[in-house]
């Protein structure tokens, strides 16, 4: 069972991509510099369970970065399809989904000159924000491998990564949607999101963003008051 079988992608892989496209992607996908006569995609993936972080979505995302056009577009479309399915799934891999949504937000926002991509970027931002609490918990307290649990029983020492709360990374959805709302003149909405992101602990310097938005609101109120007089 290779990694494509593991994530139930083999049928799609064989029927959607051409032989040349599959060969190019398999040849160029060499995680951690793995070299073998058999491409990594086709090597035995063993019987490991899905990881909390890198899983099906992350694999498709990486392959989309490796693939050449038009296979790249095919893979991104597949990634969106799988991300939407995972989003509706009750048993989500929150880190995998969080990272994928961030990637898709950036993809669509780069194409924002077209209305579809602009609106899709906003939709994806909201999807990532909707799972922010759960993703934050997974980032802050990563699942400890069973081997390290055994080590703790032996040494009694806490692990600096698994036993201590971790700093949260940047949150693309919050950051991008706040910028979008600010540009659209929805300052109060942007401020509400910035305060929410700060409260959850995401790392994007939201204090400065909140100060900036508060100044904009105060300036608007001052202008409005001046006009009323």
pLDDT of 90-108, one tens digit each? 889 999 999 999 999 999 9
- Verify that 9 and 97 share a domain, yes or no: yes
- Verify that 95 and 12 share a domain, yes or no: yes
- Verify that 85 and 25 share a domain, yes or no: yes
- Verify that 16 and 87 share a domain, yes or no: yes
- Verify that 11 and 112 share a domain, yes or no: yes
Percent of the chain with pLDDT strictly greater than 90: 72
pLDDT band at 52 (very low <50, low <70, confident <90, very high): low
pLDDT recorded at residue 78? 98
- Verify that 115 and 11 share a domain, yes or no: yes
Residue 48 has pLDDT above 50, yes or no: no
The Cα diameter of the chain in Å comes to 80
Measured from the Cβ of residue 76, the count of other Cβ atoms closer than 10 Å reads 20
pTM above 0.85, yes or no: yes
pLDDT band at 164 (very low <50, low <70, confident <90, very high): confident
Residue 145 has pLDDT above 70, yes or no: no
Q: Is residue 148 part of a domain?
A: no
How many Å from the N-terminal Cα to the C-terminal Cα in the chain?
76
pLDDT recorded at residue 74? 98
Q: Is residue 78 part of a domain?
A: yes
Q: What is the mean pLDDT of residues 137-143?
A: 89
Q: Is residue 144 part of a domain?
A: no
Distance CA 181, CA 76 (A): 26
Q: Is residue 153 part of a domain?
A: no
pLDDT band at 165 (very low <50, low <70, confident <90, very high): confident
Q: Is residue 82 part of a domain?
A: yes
> Which of 96-110, 155-169, 212-226 has the weakest average pLDDT?
155-169
Q: Is residue 136 part of a domain?
A: no
> Which of 86-95, 137-146, 152-161 has the weakest average pLDDT?
152-161
- Verify that 61 and 12 share a domain, yes or no: yes
Q: Is residue 141 part of a domain?
A: no
Looking at the 3D structure of the chain, how many domains does it have?
A: 2
Range of the domain at 219: 167-229
Sign of CA dihedral 9, 10, 14, 18: positive
- Verify that 110 and 180 share a domain, yes or no: no
Q: What is the mean pLDDT of residues 136-151?
A: 77
């Amino acid at each position: 069972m290779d990694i494509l079988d593991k994530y139930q992608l083999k049928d799609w892989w064989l029927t959607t991509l051409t032989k040349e496209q599959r060969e190019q992607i398999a040849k160029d996908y060499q995680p951690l510099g793995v070299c073998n006569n058999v491409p990594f995609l086709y090597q035995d993936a063993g019987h490991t369970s899905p990881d909390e972080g890198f899983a099906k979505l992350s694999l498709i995302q990486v392959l989309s970065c490796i693939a050449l056009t038009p296979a790249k577009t095919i893979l991104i479309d597949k990634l969106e399809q799988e991300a939407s399915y995972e989003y509706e799934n009750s048993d989500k891999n929150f880190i995998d989904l969080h990272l994928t949504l961030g990637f898709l937000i950036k993809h669509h926002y780069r194409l924002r000159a077209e209305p579809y991509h602009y609106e899709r970027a906003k939709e994806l931002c909201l999807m990532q924000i909707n799972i922010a609490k759960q993703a934050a918990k997974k980032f802050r307290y990563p699942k400890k491998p069973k081997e390290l649990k055994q080590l703790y029983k032996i040494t009694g020492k806490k692990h600096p990564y698994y036993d201590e709360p971790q700093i949260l990374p940047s949150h693309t959805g919050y950051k991008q949607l706040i910028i979008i709302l600010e540009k659209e003149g929805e300052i109060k909405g942007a401020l509400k999101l910035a305060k929410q992101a700060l409260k959850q602990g995401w790392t994007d310097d939201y204090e400065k963003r909140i100060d900036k938005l508060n100044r904009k609101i105060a300036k608007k109120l001052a202008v409005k008051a001046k006009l009323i007089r």
